[in-house]
């Protein structure tokens, strides 16, 4: 397979899962010998991360979601000057300018969309159909998202691929001892701990989990605790975070509920907990669920979005309605009293399918083998 030059377009300035996946794939493909370049705003997090990782990065200006012909022409010039053969986008906000860019570029430019967010509503209108026709491939991380593309768009079925988001599993293969991890994080050693990771936001479900946990401890004599790992988004969801702190104070839960700031060393967090909780209302593809799986942790997951498919419809963990604290209370009790979770080795084996080396091979097939046939 010939090595070609891949450009990763990332218009957003934020640093969420979508941007992280775009950056990681660029990094991995560079490691595999491909030439890569990232197009991003100079103020963005991915621009700074690319510089730190010595990945070529080119500054672009902000662009509009629709009909930004000027930005598309500028991007087409950058693609030509950087001799780019493949352009990859992940954000829906970038699809419009990317489609226009292809119109202004050499006809051999291969344009790919790696889906990170669900469609939600029908996109079968003429505007979306013309835009999507510019894409040479559309990659979906899970079957339910592929089903959405087939049903809600007119995108050509033979250009649809199913490629999960990848993960470097090596950091999760040698976890520290539970006691050492808890000592590092300042957590008690005598509790069975449920843990949730993510920024504090109503969509992440921390308050629902907290309510369920409070009801749960009224019904069990088992010493248990709840750990939140995450921080507030700057200037966002302050009231939500404050309501969580107030709840802990009002219910006198300071000895059993612990809030830890986010840390890059997340393996210590996973090593410290006994059960992982994914309570998001709309998680398209929860990387933290895969991380917990790679650590062999027992998982309680939202019965929405992509989580049911990641947990094989409940075979790999327990599912609950994330809008029902009552249902979650029952699931917490069941988790403690009925240990019918898959074994740690089973979960770790399942996580292997998301190994980034396997995923990168699928990416190469979608990008290069198809385009070599054109």
Q: How would DSSP label each residue in 342-366?
A: PPHHHHHHHHGGGBHHHHHHHHHII
Residues 88 and 229 both lie in one domain: no
Using the predicted structure, report yes or no on whether residue 235 has a pLDDT greater than 70: no
User: Mind listing the pLDDT tens digit for each residue in 96-150?
Assistant: 999 999 999 988 999 999 999 999 899 999 999 999 999 999 999 999 999 999 9
Residues 177 and 141 both lie in one domain: no
DSSP state for residue 367 in the 8-state scheme: I
| Residue whose C-alpha is closest to residue 138's, from 367, 341, 374 | 367
CA distance 114 to 22: 9
| Residue whose C-alpha is closest to residue 56's, from 75, 84, 15 | 84
CA distance 256 to 178: 17
Residues 310 and 362 both lie in one domain: no
Angle, vertex CA 352, rays to CA 311 and CA 339, nearest 5: 45
Percent of the chain at pLDDT above 70?
97
pLDDT (0 to 100) of residue 373:
42
Residues 284 and 233 both lie in one domain: yes
CA distance 48 to 31: 19
| Residue whose C-alpha is closest to residue 290's, from 311, 274, 267 | 311
| Region for residue 91 given its phi and psi (left: phi exceeds 0; alpha: psi -120 to 50; beta: otherwise) | beta
Interacting residues of 94 by C-beta distance below 8 A, sequence separation 6+: 9, 10, 11, 63
pLDDT (0 to 100) of residue 85:
95
DSSP state for residue 23 in the 8-state scheme: H
Q: Show the tokens assigned to 171.
A: 């950091």
Residues 177 and 227 both lie in one domain: yes
pTM, to two decimals: 0.89
Using the predicted structure, report yes or no on whether residue 7 has a pLDDT greater than 60: yes
Residue 296: band (very low, low, confident or very high) from pLDDT cuts 50, 70, 90:
very high
Task: Work out the average pLDDT over 77-96.
Answer: 96
pLDDT (0 to 100) of residue 227:
98
Residues 56 and 107 both lie in one domain: yes
pLDDT (0 to 100) of residue 17:
85
Residues 113 and 189 both lie in one domain: no
Looking at residue 130, which CATH number applies to its domain? Answer: 3.40.50.2000
Residues 113 and 21 both lie in one domain: yes
Residues 114 and 157 both lie in one domain: yes
pLDDT (0 to 100) of residue 370:
57
Contact present, 195 and 178 (Cβ < 8 Å): no
Arithmetic mean of pLDDT over the chain: 94
Task: Work out the average pLDDT over 211-236.
Answer: 90
User: Mind listing the pLDDT tens digit for each residue in 241-259?
Assistant: 999 999 999 999 999 999 9
Backbone angles phi, psi at 277, to 5 degrees: -115, 125
pLDDT (0 to 100) of residue 144:
93
- Structural domain total, the chain: 2
Residue 374: band (very low, low, confident or very high) from pLDDT cuts 50, 70, 90:
very low
Domain encompassing residue 305:
170-353
Distances (CA, A) of 313 to 46, 303, 320: 34, 8, 11
Percent of the chain at pLDDT above 90?
88
pLDDT (0 to 100) of residue 223:
97
End-to-end CA distance of the chain: 15
pLDDT (0 to 100) of residue 1:
47
CA distance 15 to 23: 10
| Residue whose C-alpha is closest to residue 306's, from 323, 324, 333, 288 | 288
Using the predicted structure, report yes or no on whether residue 188 has a pLDDT greater than 60: yes
Task: Work out the average pLDDT over 59-85.
Answer: 96
CA distance 277 to 292: 9
Residues 158 and 225 both lie in one domain: no
Residue 15: band (very low, low, confident or very high) from pLDDT cuts 50, 70, 90:
confident
Strands annotated E in the chain: 5-10, 35-41, 57-60, 86-89, 110-114, 137-140, 160-162, 192-197, 224-229, 257-260, 275-278, 298-302, 318-320
The string of DSSP letters for 139-208 reads EESSHHHHHHHHHH----GGGEEE-PPPB--GGGSSPPPHHHHHHHHT--SSSEEEEEES-B-GGGTHHH
Residues 183 and 331 both lie in one domain: yes
pLDDT (0 to 100) of residue 231:
85
Residues 237 and 97 both lie in one domain: no
């Amino acid at each position: 397979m010939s090595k070609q030059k891949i450009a990763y377009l990332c218009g957003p300035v934020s640093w969420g899962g979508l941007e992280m996946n775009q950056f990681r794939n660029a990094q991995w493909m560079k490691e595999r010998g491909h030439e890569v370049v990232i197009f991003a705003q100079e103020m963005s997090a991915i621009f700074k991360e690319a510089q730190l990782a010595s990945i070529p990065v080119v500054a672009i200006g902000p662009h509009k979601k629709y009909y930004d012909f000027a930005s598309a022409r500028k991007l087409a010039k950058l693609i030509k000057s950087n001799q780019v053969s493949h352009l990859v986008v992940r954000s829906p906000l970038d699809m419009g300018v990317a489609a226009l860019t292809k119109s202004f570029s050499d006809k051999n430019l291969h344009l790919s969309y790696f889906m990170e967010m669900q469609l939600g509503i029908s996109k079968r209108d003429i505007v979306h159909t013309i835009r999507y026709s510019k894409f040479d491939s559309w990659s979906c991380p899970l079957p339910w998202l592929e089903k959405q593309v087939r049903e809600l768009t007119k995108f050509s079925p033979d250009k649809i691929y199913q490629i999960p988001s990848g993960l470097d599993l090596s950091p999760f293969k040698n976890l520290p001892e539970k006691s050492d991890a808890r000592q590092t994080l300042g957590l008690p050693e005598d509790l069975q701990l449920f843990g949730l990771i993510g920024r504090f936001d109503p969509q992440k479900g921390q308050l629902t989990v907290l309510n369920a946990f409070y009801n749960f401890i009224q019904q069990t004599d088992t010493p248990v605790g709840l750990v939140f790992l995450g921080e507030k988004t700057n200037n966002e969801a302050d009231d939500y975070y404050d309501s969580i702190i107030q709840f802990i104070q009002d219910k006198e839960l300071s000895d059993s509920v612990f809030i830890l700031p986010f840390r890059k060393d997340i393996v210590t967090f996973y090593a410290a907990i006994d059960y992982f909780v994914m309570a998001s209302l709309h998680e398209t593809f929860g990387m933290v669920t895969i991380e917990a799986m790679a650590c062999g942790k027992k998982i309680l997951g939202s019965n929405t979005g992509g989580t049911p498919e990641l947990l094989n419809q409940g075979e790999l963990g327990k599912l609950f309605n994330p809008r029902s604290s009552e249902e979650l209370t029952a699931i917490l009790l069941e988790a403690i009293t009925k240990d019918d979770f898959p074994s740690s080795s089973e979960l770790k084996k399942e996580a292997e399918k998301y190994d980034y080396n396997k995923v990168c091979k699928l990416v190469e097939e979608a990008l290069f083998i198809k385009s070599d046939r054109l």
